């Protein structure tokens, strides 16, 4: 059954526009309290990123949860994966994240973690939605929940991140520039790498509530790349607003995306004999990643776009490593969700262990040229249901043979068909993408 409010990653939208309003969020807190409070765990933890509306929604959630009779622990600004970890370690009934991830400050959202630090099951989200359609009630005064701030939250998560690598590991001698996206990791991120011995220069680490993700972070690495080269740093680290996404920059100022980072972490684990099973990417993962892993004898599966679907496939196969080219890297042997800081530490560990630069490590994977054209259509639809389009796809696939692939995908948020082709020959890829996009345009 389709959900009314929940998307693939919580509930998200523009602040002040339904459902991202104080009234709705308060009732959401109440509904979550009613559904999740039916066990011995009587508390919910709440963390947020740095956008200005976080204060308002934190208060709204606190009121709703208290009205349902559950206690609240307020973590303050905290990376999304840190909230997942603290939900587990505090033995809370659930964790709530107030964040719109890589979006601009005028958006916000509410995401949930289960008591195990994983995303809520569909059944639980349906139960919460059912309560949202009921009148809100308040428990009697003696049963109201209480709220308290957790002053040790940041320190606990910093130690958790450091514990993801061996205690003998040191970053001494490495110069790192870290772009904190003016987001949730603005303080925690630099501290983790400094405490491991690195010479750290943080940038975009002065949030004002309005500058989160603004021309910075994992979605815009231009400033980071320039500074890495200018300062002759060894590496650049770019996180997004809630620090669950990671993009890196090598010493030459060249961007290393999620596909390349996933390859580096996987190859490093295999070299040390600790790779269990295969790797999960998405429909958008570069063909070069698949080929490079296959060359090492590592199985590779593609999930639908979205870290939720990557996680589902990892769990189904009992594998540890997965991710997206956008920088969501999942190391299930380290945390229960994608974690930008922990992923960066795993990459750095491979660099240190093998005595190689990031540029040398990424050379083990050759990215295939990839071109994508968005074609606006009248309504959301399955492009492959059209016989003419399906036939055109088969013709393109035949021309590419085994040296490329074709993907037609309907956007989940807009009336667009994404036409993507990748292969060994950039000129051929460009021509075939334009050719197929024209067929889609004329028939859909």
Instruction: Just list the catalytic residues.
Output: 101
Sequential DSSP letters for 94-105 = EEEEE--TTS-T
Compute the C-alpha angle 339/340/346, nearest 5°.
90
Element (H, E) at 193: helix 188-195
Which of 260, 293, 255 minimizes the C-alpha distance to 367? Answer: 260
From CA 429, how far away is CA 333, in angstroms rounded?
37
Neighbours of 141 (CB within 10 A): 6
- Give alpha helix (H) positions in 234-335: 258-271, 287-295, 307-317
Residue that is written with structure tokens 């339904």 in the block: 18
Beta partners for residue 323, in sequence order: 329
Specify the long-range contacts of residues 216-219, CB closer than 8 Å, at least 24 apart.
216/179, 216/181, 216/182, 217/102, 217/179, 217/180, 217/181, 217/182, 217/183, 217/241, 218/102, 218/179, 218/181, 218/245, 218/246, 218/247, 218/326, 218/327, 218/340, 219/102
CA 387 vs. chain centroid, Å, equals 36
Which of 51, 50, 44, 52 minimizes the C-alpha distance to 73? Answer: 44
From CA 65, how far away is CA 34, in angstroms rounded?
8
Burial class (CB in 10 A: 0-12, 13-18, 19+), 175: middle
Beta partners for residue 167, in sequence order: none
Which of 44, 41, 31 minimizes the C-alpha distance to 71? Answer: 44
User: Please, are residues 193 and 219 in contact by the beta-carbon 8 Å criterion?
Assistant: no
């Amino acid at each position: 059954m389709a959900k009314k409010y929940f998307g693939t990653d919580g509930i998200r939208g523009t602040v002040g526009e339904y459902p991202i309003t104080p009234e709705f969020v308060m009732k959401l807190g109440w509904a979550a309290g009613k559904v999740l409070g039916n066990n011995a765990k009587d508390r919910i933890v709440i963390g947020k990123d740095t956008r200005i509306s976080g204060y308002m929604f934190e208060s709204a959630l606190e009121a709703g949860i208290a009205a349902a009779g559950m206690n609240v622990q307020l973590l303050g600004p905290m990376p999304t994966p840190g909230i997942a970890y603290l939900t587990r370690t505090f033995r809370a009934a659930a964790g709530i994240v107030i964040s719109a991830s890589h979006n601009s400050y005028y958006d916000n959202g509410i995401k949930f973690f289960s008591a195990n630090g994983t995303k809520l099951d569909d059944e639980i989200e349906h139960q919460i939605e059912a309560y949202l359609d009921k009148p809100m009630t308040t428990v009697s005064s003696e049963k109201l929940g209480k709220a308290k701030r957790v002053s040790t939250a940041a320190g606990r998560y910093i130690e958790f991140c450091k514990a993801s690598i061996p205690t003998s590991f040191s970053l001494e001698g490495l110069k790192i520039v870290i772009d904190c996206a003016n987001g949730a990791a603005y303080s925690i991120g630099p501290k983790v790498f400094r405490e491991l011995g690195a010479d750290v220069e943080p940038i975009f680490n002065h949030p004002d509530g309005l500058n989160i993700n603004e021309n910075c972070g994992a979605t815009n690495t231009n400033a980071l790349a320039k500074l890495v080269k200018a300062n002759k740093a060894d590496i650049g680290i770019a996180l997004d607003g809630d620090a669950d996404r990671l993009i890196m920059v090598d010493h030459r100022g060249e961007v290393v995306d999620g596909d390349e980072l996933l390859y580096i972490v996987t190859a490093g684990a295999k070299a040390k004999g600790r790779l269990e099973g295969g790797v999960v990417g998405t429909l958008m993962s570069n063909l070069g990643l698949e080929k490079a892993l296959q060359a090492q004898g590592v199985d590779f599966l593609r999930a639908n776009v979205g870290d939720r679907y990557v996680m589902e496939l990892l769990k189904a196969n009992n594998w540890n490593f997965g991710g997206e080219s956008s920088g969501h890297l999942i190391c299930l042997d380290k945390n229960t969700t994608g974690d930008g800081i922990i992923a960066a530490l795993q990459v750095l560990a491979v660099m240190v262990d093998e005595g190689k630069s990031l540029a040398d490590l990424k050379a083990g994977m050759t990215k295939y040229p990839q071109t994508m054209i968005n074609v606006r259509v009248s309504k959301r639809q399955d492009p492959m249901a059209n016989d003419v389009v399906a036939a055109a796809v088969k013709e393109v696939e035949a021309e590419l043979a085994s040296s490329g692939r074709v993907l037609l995908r309907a956007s989940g948020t807009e009336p667009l068909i994404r036409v993507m082709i990748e292969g060994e020959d950039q000129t051929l890829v460009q021509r075939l993408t334009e050719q197929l996009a024209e067929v889609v345009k004329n028939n859909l």
